Chain A
Amino acid sequence: MTHLPEPALRAYASPRGGLAAGATWTVEAHLETCSDCRVALSAVLDDVAPDTARLIGLVGERLATGLDIEPATRRRRRFGRWRRWLTPAMAPALQVTVLVIITALALDALDTALDVGFPSLLLLIAPVAPLAAVAAAWAPGLDPAHELVASSPRAGLDLVLRRTLVVLAVVVPVLAIAGMFTGLSPALWLLPCLALTVGALALGPVLGPARASLAVVGLWAIAVVSPSLVLREPPSVLDPANLPAWVAALAAAGAILAIRRRAYVRAGGF
């Protein structure tokens, strides 16, 4: 930013009025936005126009004694950084998710106590646990302000990923803590969990975000959870030997999502 030269400030401050009307406007317009030049102006004022300087000093004194000095904006006057991350849209879904995890944990404990021999329910639900809240991050029916969000400049994959991260930041630690009670290693479910989450987001542009999550959960329930419960053995897809396949799935889903990212610029439901 260029600043006002001192001669211009002196001419402006001079009581004889050394500036043309147009130039005065330019100086004033600049002074309004530039505190450096206001300081420079007050520095030359004593010299150029002692009467004006005295008058301003007097007004300043009067105001200082007459006004309640406490600034009107002493309350929190910053837009908190954390609020860009937290959105109440996902809160109800997150509450339900945490409840489901706790229920699964309780059933696992019961299973161990009675020695029934079912596979860990916690392990079975962990890979799809974030999906309900992920759907709520970008869905007309689940986010009450979706119409506003979808018409805003921030709408897009960035925002969806930001909200998804919030969901994962809640769900993954809850799963990990629950797993500590039953001795379930996060290594078994973390990668599948990420892959299915990104997979649901990648399916979003095709099916709509809510239906995409529902489809993944449904498929998971039919193809993995039911057989595992019927056969009473842990699902083979979650076997550590299959981790490379999950890495590939995560990469593929990420690639599809990157290609289809423009779909998230318009309202959900597409």
Chain B
Amino acid sequence: MVRAVDPAETTPTPFAWAVHAEGLVVKAGKRVAVDHLDLRLGDGIHGLLGPNGAGKTTLVRALATVLKPVEGSLEVLGHDLTDHTDLRPLRRTIGYLPQEFGFYRRFTLREFVEYIAWLKEVPASEIPAAAQRAIDRVGLADRADHRMKTLSGGMVRRAGIAQAIINDPRVLLLDEPTAGLDPDQRLDFRALLRTLAADTCVLVSTHLVEDVAAACSDVILLDEGRLVFSGTPADLAEAGGTESSEAGGDSATERGYSSIMRAHREMG
């Protein structure tokens, strides 16, 4: 049986990059957290790496349309986020897991995911099925009718991913999705990521270099709000290959990460 093709799937996209930033400046409070950043992301899984305070969360919040850029240009799926355009159509196609994922403790998982689906303007008749599908995909089907407050830390994280994918987003922003997951769950999470990436631009912010090496098609390294490195995980591993003895880190990717960071800091 041939799958029914939605007209939207075959319409040519009016943009070259799912995410396109040029000279982007975003403030976190009064501090400039993203400092003249140039970024181009297409479909695939992009790992966003960097030390704490590098501006990862601020960048993700700007892409999620929560923060308004101060300067420069930022386009997501061809929508300009710097002027006063209507954000509604764009927001329908974004999935977002915030770093501090807040939820309603008294809701069951299903109620919570369905409420988010309603917020994302999923048609009411499709909400129950969409919620079930999202909950199945993160492997929480047996917990669907448990209250959110009874879920463990790892399950809450997966519930967060479920609400992020409820509207089949074109751009999926995951801020520290693997925090609090045990090694097994992290493997499951990577497998889930790969199933999402076919026609989606996924941005995974993380401080775990290993997540990036295992699951991402390319890596962006951020420090003090600036782009330090952009390339494939293999490029990153190569960067640390020659000086394995002095750079810290157990794997090639970790060595690459620390040697790039150090080189960047020495340059000032």
Contacts and interface: CB of A to CB of B under 8 A. Distances in A.
A153 B104 contact: no
A84 B118 contact: yes
A33 B4 contact: yes
A104 B68 CA distance: 43
B8 to A, nearest CB: 14
B146 to A, nearest CB: 15
Contacts of B65: 151, 266
Contacts of B193: none
B1 A32 contact: yes
A266 B3 CA distance: 38
B263 interface: no
Given A77-B128, A83-B114, A148-B163, A154 B2 contact: no
Interface stretch (A63-71, A139-147, A169-177, A233-241): A139-147
Contact of A153 (B4, B103, B115, B121): B121
SS class, residues of chain B in contact with chain A:
loop
Interface stretch (B93-101, B197-205, B206-214): B93-101
A78 B64 CA distance: 29
Contacts of B64: 151
A192 to B, nearest CB: 32
A152 B5 contact: no
B102 A262 contact: no
Nearest to A144: B102
Contacts of A47: none
Contacts of A88: 104-107
Contacts of B100: 147
A29 interface: yes
Given A84-B118, A148-B102, A153-B87, A28 B111 contact: no
Interface string A46-86: 00000000000000000000000000010001110001100
A40 interface: no
Interface string B76-88: 0000000010011
Interface string A233-270: 00000000000000000000000000000100111000
A153 B118 contact: no
Contacts of A102: none
Contact of A149 (B94, B107, B119, B127): B119
A79 B66 contact: no
Given A77-B128, A266-B66, A145 B91 contact: no
B87 A25 contact: no
A267 B26 CA distance: 14
SS class, residues of chain A in contact with chain B:
helix
Chain A interface size, under 10 / 10 to 19 / 20 to 34 / 35 or more? 20 to 34
B98 A147 contact: yes
A66 B61 CA distance: 52
A153 B100 CA distance: 20
A181 B20 CA distance: 63
A44 interface: no
A84 B119 CA distance: 9
A155 interface: yes
Contacts of B92: 153
B124 A79 contact: yes
Contacts of A151: 64-66, 91, 94, 96, 98
Nearest to B124: A79
Contacts of A78: 128
B102 A147 contact: yes
A90 to B, nearest CB: 11
A37 interface: no
B151 to A, nearest CB: 14
Given A32-B1, A83-B114, A83-B115, A148 B98 contact: yes
A158 to B, nearest CB: 11
A28 B87 contact: no
12 contacts: A32-B2, A83-B111, A87-B115, A88-B104, A145-B104, A147-B66, A147-B98, A147-B100, A149-B119, A152-B121, A159-B119, A266-B67
- Sorted nearest first, the 10 A-B pairs with minimum C-beta distance are A144-B102, A152-B119, A153-B91, A79-B127, A88-B104, A147-B98, A32-B4, A153-B88, A29-B4, A25-B2
Given A28-B1, A153-B120, A155-B91, 19 more contacts: A28-B2, A29-B5, A79-B117, A79-B124, A83-B118, A87-B115, A88-B104, A89-B104, A147-B98, A151-B64, A151-B65, A151-B94, A152-B91, A153-B89, A153-B121, A154-B119, A265-B87, A266-B66, A266-B67
